[in-house]
Chain A
Amino acid sequence: MRTPISFFLLLSGMLFTVGTVGVLIRKNALIIFMSIELQLNAVNLALVTFSRQNGNLTGQVLTFFSMVVAAAEVVVGLAIIVSLYRKRRSIDVDDARMLRW
């Protein structure tokens, strides 16, 4: 295996950064959600890389759990978005500013 570890980690970092920027920039709730998924996946990549680096399977197990939790989270999150849409006919997050001063 000749690809250096650092490349994987840098790739993970880049994907995470893209995800973060996506969360901050977009107004569409679904796309924000997808950016969050990007972040999660970037972390998964990093975990598996560490697993390879350290020579045990702990990282992979963690990744497994991360995926499970991500699945559960997506389910609930989308249910919320659907509910929100039914109430307000809009999934623009800027329209939900009831907690404004």
Chain B
Amino acid sequence: MADTVVFWIAAPISVASAIAVVLARRAVHAALFLIANLFTLAVLFLVLGSEFLFVVQIIVYAGAIMVLFLFVIMLLGVDQEVSLREQLQGQRLVAALLGLGLLAEVVVAVRLGVGLQRTPLPDFAAVNKGGNVQALAHVLFNQYFLPFEVTSVLLIVAAIGAMLHGRRRMDEEETIDREQAVL
């Protein structure tokens, strides 16, 4: 019962915030809406029986990634209003059509797969025996140890790459005006 209520509060908020992200005029607003969306998702993770991911989502995604986003937004000073006028012909129409098509397909897929009727979620307590973190660690460090290590290497590489990419060059490279950038 409780989960239904939580679901029906979280779900609309997430959809609304997602739409707001896409339609926002200012980048900062979009970032904030995205944070809201991530929070709702974290709640849904909790509902689905994954406490660990609930926390990780907030700390990593909303806490680290989105903050990074905001840093960059501030750094680039692109706080001004971005014009929402579409210059490419037909882009919006086709995008809308594709979106609808995608949605329809998801509906069809769910219908074919799980069925749209009201089958409740199975019980998850036995899986989370000993707590979700422990159970997760159990699986992670036994079966998925190699991917774990590889992912850590990935993180290091990404960090180094970003550092190299973002550093200031010795000689000041010339910046090109917006007008000239449009080739």
Physical contact A–B (CB less than 8 Å) = yes
A residues near B75, Cβ cutoff 8 Å: 82
| B65 close to A74 (CB less than 8 A) | yes
Q: Report whether B69 and A91 are in contact in the complex, using a CB–CB cutoff of 8 Å.
A: no
Instruction: Report which of A22, A45, A91 forms a contact with B76, defined as CB distance below 8 A.
Output: A91
* Chain B interface SS verdict (over half): helix
Can you list 11 A-B contacts (CB < 8 A)? Answer: A21-B98, A30-B78, A45-B41, A45-B44, A48-B44, A60-B136, A61-B144, A63-B53, A72-B158, A82-B76, A89-B176
Which A residues have a C-beta under 8 Å from some C-beta of B? 1-22, 24-28, 30-31, 33-35, 37-38, 41, 44-45, 48-49, 51-53, 55-58, 60-61, 63-65, 67-76, 78-83, 85-92, 94-98, 100
Q: Which residues does B use to contact A, with CB under 8 Å?
A: 1, 3-4, 7, 11, 14-15, 18-19, 21-22, 24, 27, 30-31, 34, 37-38, 41, 44-45, 47-50, 52-53, 56-57, 60-61, 64-65, 68-69, 72-73, 75-76, 78, 82-83, 86-88, 91-92, 94-96, 98-99, 102-103, 106-107, 109-111, 113-124, 126-127, 135-136, 139-140, 143-144, 147, 151, 154-155, 157-159, 161-163, 165-166, 173, 175-178, 181-183
